[in-house]
């Protein structure tokens, strides 16, 4: 039972909560205004924390070039703020060693939204076809 909820997992969840709070309240970088922390994976030795993030206002249908430029700006902002974030984590979380922060863009939210959009359009097309193929009222009157 103890292995199901390991220390590294608890530390990761704590880091996730603290980073989310710091990004919304204390980091003044406008590039990081719409960043959401989706997950944090901490190694067993607590030396590295992989932080998965997404940008809340990322549009599904937007131009890929613009989207990649926005992702790059957010990544640069996170990398620039990583020292401050790690320093603040050291004060908020009582650990002997604060993990090194490594930021990775999480595309699962965007992929999920794209899949939902595809499913919705397929269901709408299916509904349109079933309405067009349905027998008319006059066939039932015979």
Domains and CATH numbers, the chain: 2-128 (3.30.300.20)
Element (H, E) at 84: helix 64-92
Is residue 73 a contact partner of residue 103, using CB atoms and an 8 Å limit? Answer: no
Please report the pLDDT score of residue 1 as a whole number. Answer: 45
Higher pLDDT, 60 or 131: 131
Q: What is the pLDDT of residues 33-61, one digit of tens each?
A: 889 899 999 999 889 999 999 887 755 54
Q: pTM of the prediction? A: 0.72
What average pLDDT does this structure show over 106-134? 81
Q: What is the pLDDT of residues 66-118, one digit of tens each?
A: 777 788 889 999 999 999 999 999 999 888 889 999 999 988 877 887 888 88
Distance in angstroms between the alpha carbons of the first and the last residue of the chain: 68
Q: Tokens for 10, please give them.
A: 């608890």
């Amino acid at each position: 039972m103890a292995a199901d909820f390991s220390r590294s997992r608890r530390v990761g969840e704590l880091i996730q909560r603290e980073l989310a709070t710091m990004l919304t309240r204390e980091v003044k970088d406008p590039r990081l205004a719409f960043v959401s922390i989706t997950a944090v994976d901490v190694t067993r030795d607590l030396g590295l924390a992989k932080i998965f993030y997404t940008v809340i206002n990322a549009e599904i249908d937007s131009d890929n070039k613009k989207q990649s430029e926005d992702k790059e700006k957010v990544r640069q902002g996170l990398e620039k703020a990583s020292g401050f974030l790690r320093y603040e984590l050291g004060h908020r979380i009582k650990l002997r060693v604060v993990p090194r922060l490594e930021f990775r863009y999480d595309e699962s939210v965007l992929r999920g939204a794209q899949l939902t959009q595809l499913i919705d359009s397929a269901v709408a097309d299916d509904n349109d076809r079933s309405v067009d193929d349905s027998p008319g009222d006059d066939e039932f009157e015979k």
